[in-house]
Amino acid sequence: MNTGIKQFSILFFQSITFWVLAFLLFTTFRFSGLDEYVNFFFDVEYDIHISIWYNLALILGLVIGVFYAIIEYLFQNFLLRKSALGLVIISKTGIYLMLMVTVLRVLSIIAEHDMDLDIPNENGWWITSRWFWITVLYFMIGSLLFSFLKIANEKFGKGIFIKMLLGTYRKPQEEKRIFMFLDLKDSTSIAETLGHYRYSEFIQDCFLDLNRVIEKNDAEVYQYVGDEAVLTWPYKKGVFKSKCVELFFEFQEQINKRLNYYQNKYNHVPKFKAGLHGGKLMIAEVGTVKKELAFHGDVINTTARIQGECNTYNASLLISESLLIDLHLNATYTSSPLGNIKLKGKQEGVNIFSIV
């Protein structure tokens, strides 16, 4: 599936689920504990069965969910990168306000027709409507919560945020993971040529292209350190269809698609080198001022050392033999043994292969 379509599909599903549940919960809060027939909070009272309000809440959640997903996707992928954050917030607030006016007016017209009621919905009705502004306030609070959950999930990786809320990593936990240390080649000479400002833009563009292939290959970003990215996978996910290897070459393809862009803007085309290794390690919450997840174990050190050998062997991608055995690479790739290499800081050598 195309990465953009997959990204939108996930956002679409999350948005609809969240807003349907949110407005059903809103209806429950509004009418819970009242008699079988309840009144609406316009200035006029209506005797309508509570099930009608649940149906309207369901429709409202579905419609808001659909449009919310579309708006968020457009801003995230096309408008957010080109505009100041303050302008984006103001623009989105205005769009959401118009959306709420339109949707609630249409729903009131439908309810008025189907239930033979006289509901205020003339032009400008929303300006003095308590019901409208309470709904808008609830929507804004829900939108902030949705954004918070989305940012937290992106920050920590899929499923990790929920585990942190549950306190899973308060005590160190053992997991089996794959790590990739991905580093820009010739970074020092490029930085000297471009200067620190344009070099920062260059790195931004590189990692933007990297992000386009991360989700497709189920990778998580552990850290960005200067011009280096550290990626990780749960072991089974990284091994499945050799996604940890696929990501590296798809990243190269993504850069090649924008070859002219890099050449024209920077007069440099980025090339990356990477090291891959996997195994068991510990994961735990660390810090109180800036709490985050940290991985501890020999796997990380070994992966970094493997990547450090890329220059020695003029290779773009190096991998440990133990991980290579579990991958079962197809005929698209060729692996070549480099021998048992004594890595810095390790007493025993590691069998390393290059992949092209």
**Do 140 and 191 belong to one domain?**
no
Dihedral angle over CA of 3, 8, 9, 12, nearest 10: 170
Percent of the chain with pLDDT over 90: 41
CB 135 within 8 A of CB 100: yes
| pLDDT, position 48 | 56
* Mean pLDDT (the chain, rounded): 83
Most confident of 25-34, 121-130, 278-287: 278-287
How does residue 244 score in pLDDT terms, banded at 50, 70 and 90? very high
| pLDDT, position 8 | 84
**Do 216 and 277 belong to one domain?**
yes
Domains in the chain, number: 2
CB 217 within 8 A of CB 227: no
How does residue 150 score in pLDDT terms, banded at 50, 70 and 90? confident
CA distance 42 to 226: 57
**Do 111 and 166 belong to one domain?**
no
Mean pLDDT lowest for which of 55-59, 198-202, 263-267, 343-347? 343-347
Domain that holds residue 95: 3-156
Q: What is the mean pLDDT of residues 2-29?
A: 84
| pLDDT, position 43 | 44
220 Ramachandran zone, left/alpha/beta (phi>0; psi -120 to 50): beta
**Do 100 and 164 belong to one domain?**
no
How does residue 319 score in pLDDT terms, banded at 50, 70 and 90? very high
Q: Is residue 36 over pLDDT 50?
A: no
**Do 342 and 285 belong to one domain?**
yes
Percent of the chain with pLDDT over 70: 86
Q: Is residue 44 over pLDDT 90?
A: no
Q: Which of 103, 123, 156 is the last residue of a domain?
A: 156
Task: Report pLDDT digits (tens) over 277-302.
Answer: 999 999 988 877 777 788 999 999 99
| Angle of the 50-74 helix axis to the 85-115 helix axis, nearest 10 | 150
CA distance readout (Å), 177 to 78, 161, 194, 245, 286: 33, 18, 36, 14, 19
| pLDDT, position 307 | 94
**Do 168 and 286 belong to one domain?**
yes
More confident residue, 211 or 287: 211
**Do 283 and 174 belong to one domain?**
yes
Q: Which of 101, 126, 156 is the last residue of a domain?
A: 156
What is the Cα 251 distance to its own chain's centre? 17
Neighbours of 202 (CB within 10 A): 22
More confident residue, 129 or 353: 353
CA distance 48 to 44: 12
How does residue 233 score in pLDDT terms, banded at 50, 70 and 90? very high
CATH of the domain at 332: 3.30.70.1230
Find, among 251, 240, 193, 203, the residue nearest to 218 by Cα: 240
Q: Which of 96, 131, 156 is the last residue of a domain?
A: 156
What is the Cα 325 distance to its own chain's centre? 30
pTM: 0.73
More confident residue, 264 or 127: 264
How does residue 144 score in pLDDT terms, banded at 50, 70 and 90? confident
Q: What is the mean pLDDT of residues 242-256?
A: 95
Backbone angles phi, psi at 98, to 5 degrees: -65, -35
**Do 202 and 334 belong to one domain?**
yes
CA distance 126 to 98: 11
CA distance 178 to 28: 45
| pLDDT, position 41 | 45
**Do 169 and 232 belong to one domain?**
yes
**Do 137 and 185 belong to one domain?**
no
Q: Is residue 99 over pLDDT 50?
A: yes
| pLDDT, position 336 | 93
**Do 184 and 329 belong to one domain?**
yes
CB 168 within 8 A of CB 216: no
Mean pLDDT lowest for which of 32-41, 47-56, 222-231? 32-41
**Do 209 and 311 belong to one domain?**
yes
Mean pLDDT lowest for which of 164-168, 210-214, 232-236? 164-168
How does residue 145 score in pLDDT terms, banded at 50, 70 and 90? confident
